[in-house]
Amino acid sequence: MVGLPARGKSYIAHRLARYLNWIGTKSKVFNVGQYRRELVGVNMSYDYYDPFNTTGAQSRRMVASHVLDTIIEWFKEDPDNAVAILDATNTTRDRRDLILERCPPEGIQVMFIESVLDDTFIEERNIREHKLRCPDYQGCDPDDAFNDFSKRIENYKKAYETLCLNLDRELSFIRVSNITQFHINNLLGTVQSKSAYFLMNIRPHTKTTLYLSRHGESQFNELAKIGGDTNLTDNGVRYAKKLGKFLQENNLTDIPVWTSIMKRTIETCSHLPNQNVQRYKCLNEIDAGRCDGLTYKEIEETYPEEFALRDLDKYNYRYPQGESYQDVCCRLEPIIMDLEKQDQVLLICHQAVLRCIVGYFLNLSTDEIPYIKIPLHTVIKITPVAYGCEKEEISFGVESSVTHRDKQTQESIERRLLALDISHGDSSFVSHEDMNGHSGNNNIISDHVIKT
């Protein structure tokens, strides 16, 4: 990242990493402030950041070099490690040159993301809401801490060299000015293009509160069958009515409701007081292909190889003539971008779809997403906090079927595969590379160090 303190760099870094991880590009944020506190200590006064303080400048360069060493080692540890986001100020060309000297020789492609903010009100809010809570100011008087941090910013301004076309034409960079204006230069490859797409869709000062719910219990839920397009059971209708009462009691009757085009979600919405209901095909449940309308027991008996291989890698496995969780995430991407811009919204859809959406907002891995518990007759509230989100479950006490299936042990899966005498590549299993054509190159984004 590039930019003065309190310009939203850490916020952008964590949001970008969350998005890239969700689309299957393994990413990690490396915050230089955390490393500085470990190596040098906390309670460093604003004088430490004065560019004319030789001792402080040498110390900060040492920390920067250490973090770059750590990033380079991280890329070497696992070939799947794809994007490192260097969350730091990098406000001088000298510091950015250090990144450019170290990373390309290691096969790391560099893109800079600069955040520029001229709004003093937002700057002060960022300082008071986030910076004063960091370990550097624990136990300090809030006003004293605010004054010290403000002086720290003034010291950075003394040497600040912004990215510009005249001097940085050969670099890959995105310059974000006041959240709304974007200057994009010389982007290379899918990861950098995807990063630009994401940054142009988020609204850092919009705090989206999501209410997520599955449809009321359906007739197929009651029969333990997957998929289908059936109506609600009596218990499903009871839940839908209670959900409507919940919205009324919490003054949520004016928020938009987004739902799928399937009978069970449309019927659930028919019992709500909200008038702004929008239907999206991309919110339909995962397509189970030839397994649609079967119980898990019937799938295991009819397609034992498919059943075992899905357990082996549930996120990437694609049902015969159907979809994988990765496919669902791909079709949900436009919805995710729209959700980033909303203040409040209620989604009524399906188990696999909500797993993908909850996984995005909670920054869960692709191994975790297919096993998130999304019970029927429960509202999940997602609330933004700092650089992440909190999840709250609200149950209405309406009886329902249990549709969750726990993750199987690796030993039991391997034993079944061995008994079936099949290898891991004998079925509909689709790898991440097969689907997205990723070559595994590394990327480093400065303040964003992206390794592409």
pTM of the model: 0.89
DSSP assignments along 338-358, one per residue: HHTT-SEEEEEE-HHHHHHHH
What's the CA gap between 342 and 254, in Å, rounded?
13
Asked if 99 contacts 110 with a C-beta cutoff of 8 angstroms, the reply is: yes
**pLDDT tens sequence across 226-261:** 999 999 999 999 999 999 999 999 999 999 999 999
Catalytic residue among 21, 31, 81, 221: 221
Residue 439, pLDDT > 50, answer no
Residue 435, pLDDT > 70, answer no
pLDDT of residue 427: 46
What's the CA gap between 244 and 221, in Å, rounded?
21
329, containing H or E segment: helix 325-339
pLDDT of residue 366: 93
Is 432 marked active-site? no
Is 250 marked active-site? no
Catalytic residue among 285, 323, 333, 340: 285
pLDDT of residue 429: 42
Is 264 marked active-site? yes
pLDDT of residue 40: 94
Of 84-93, 237-246, 443-452, the poorest mean pLDDT is in: 443-452
Helix, strand, coil shares of the chain, percent, nearest 5, are 45, 15, 35
Residue 182, pLDDT > 70, answer yes
pLDDT of residue 208: 82
114, containing H or E segment: strand 108-116
Catalytic residue among 14, 214, 310, 416: 214
**pLDDT tens sequence across 348-359:** 999 999 999 999
Q: How confident is the model at residue 432 (pLDDT cuts 50, 70, 90)?
A: very low
Is 424 marked active-site? no
Residue 445, pLDDT > 80, answer no
What's the CA gap between 69 and 326, in Å, rounded?
33
- Cα dihedral 223, 225, 231, 237 sign: positive
pLDDT of residue 424: 52
DSSP strand pairing (108-116 vs 442-446): parallel
Residue 434, pLDDT > 60, answer no
Catalytic residue among 18, 215, 310, 432: 215
Using CA atoms, how far residue 61 sits from 42, 58, 92, 399, in Å, is: 17, 5, 12, 60
Is 404 marked active-site? no
Asked if 266 contacts 279 with a C-beta cutoff of 8 angstroms, the reply is: yes
Is 290 marked active-site? no
Using CA atoms, how far residue 177 sits from 2, 26, 276, in Å, is: 12, 27, 33
**Rounded (10°) CA dihedral 357, 359, 360, 362:** 120
Catalytic residue among 264, 310, 318, 377: 264
- Cα dihedral 426, 369, 348, 342 sign: negative
